[in-house]
Amino acid sequence: MRIATWNVNSIKARLPNVTAWLAEAAPDVVLLQELKCETAAMPADAFRDMGYEVHAVGQKTYNGVAILSKRPVTDLVTRLDGEPEDEQARYVEGTIDGIRVASLYLPNGNPLGTEKYPYKLRWMDRLKARAASLLDSGVPFVLGGDYNVIPQPEDCYDPEAWSTDALFRYETRAKFRELLNLGLTEAYRALHPAARHAYTFWDYQAGAWPRDLGIRIDHFLLSPAAADRLLACDIDRGPRGQEKASDHTPVLLDLMD
């Protein structure tokens, strides 16, 4: 099973880029983030024409996540437990061939000193609780998406410049380690422990892309049973260099069927 995750930064604006990449990369499952459209406005027919089921959770202008799958998806979950008042469209999860697969868009958390950062940390606690529940169930699972977390200094072109950013603050990275300490595997680093300049995001400003001033914030976390099936995890930089590109690029995960 090939699973891709990609923050597309507006599905309507990037639709030609996304469909062209899907035709070439041919993932079985696609996890999308930052749709920036309401659920009903998702251009689902374009993906159905390519053989994908479409399960989107959107909201106007901001956020939005989706699972596209060439295999049947069952038992959908469209939000994390823990804050019933939270209406932000950041999580969708379903079962595909016996594996629970989630597309998530973790809050950015900036600017610090506002409610956005405590919300980010609470959201991470809610994700940890969900992961723990899935572990208790025994089902293999994959949590993929834009985590808005730079895990280690080597995942950033200039750690000092990001030291006070919500993506790299100690508290953020500690929460990420708590997820890993449940027994989860971060797929890319498990297979590429020494990789440098392995970025998934380059800002639109200050020539970040041509200067390779990137950060790695898009991740796959795998349960032990899913990690046992891990074959490959790679970053495809190609889409970031195209016209009208998202500021993120896809990450591909291959699991044994």
Average pLDDT over residues 8-29: 98
Cα(45)–Cα(109) distance, rounded to whole angstroms?
Answer: 33
pLDDT of residue 98: 98
DSSP class per residue in 74-95: EEEE-S-TT-TT-----EEEEE
Helix 116-137 and helix 170-181: axis angle, to 10°?
A: 10
Q: Smallest Cα–Cα separation from 27: which of 92, 103, 80, 79?
A: 103
pLDDT of residue 128: 98
Q: What is the share, in percent, of the chain residues with pLDDT greater than 90?
A: 100
CATH number reported for the structural domain that contains residue 101 in this entry:
3.60.10.10
Average pLDDT over residues 13-33: 98
pLDDT digits (tens, 9 = 90+) for 37-78: 999 999 999 999 999 999 999 999 999 999 999 999 999 999
Q: What is the share, in percent, of the chain residues with pLDDT greater than 70?
A: 100
Tell which phi-psi region holds residue 18, choosing left (phi > 0), alpha (psi between -120 and 50) or beta: alpha
Look over the chain and give the mean of its residue pLDDT values, rounded to a whole number.
98
pLDDT digits (tens, 9 = 90+) for 80-94: 999 999 999 999 999
pLDDT of residue 148: 98
Q: Determine contact, residues 242/189, Cβ cutoff 8 Å.
A: no
Confidence of residue 172 (pLDDT cuts 50, 70, 90): very high
pLDDT of residue 121: 98
DSSP class per residue in 99-153: EEEEEEE----PSTTSTHHHHHHHHHHHHHHHHHHHHHHT--EEEEEE-----SG
Tell how strand 65-69 and strand 74-77 pair up. unpaired
pLDDT of residue 44: 98
Q: Determine contact, residues 232/253, Cβ cutoff 8 Å.
A: yes
Q: Residue 103 belongs to what domain range?
A: 2-255
- Give a three-class secondary structure readout of 166-196: CCCCHHHHHHHHHHHHCCCEEHHHHHCCCCC
Total number of domains constituting the chain: 1
- The number of residues making up the chain comes to 257
Host H or E run for residue 68: strand 65-69
pLDDT digits (tens, 9 = 90+) for 225-243: 999 999 999 999 999 999 9
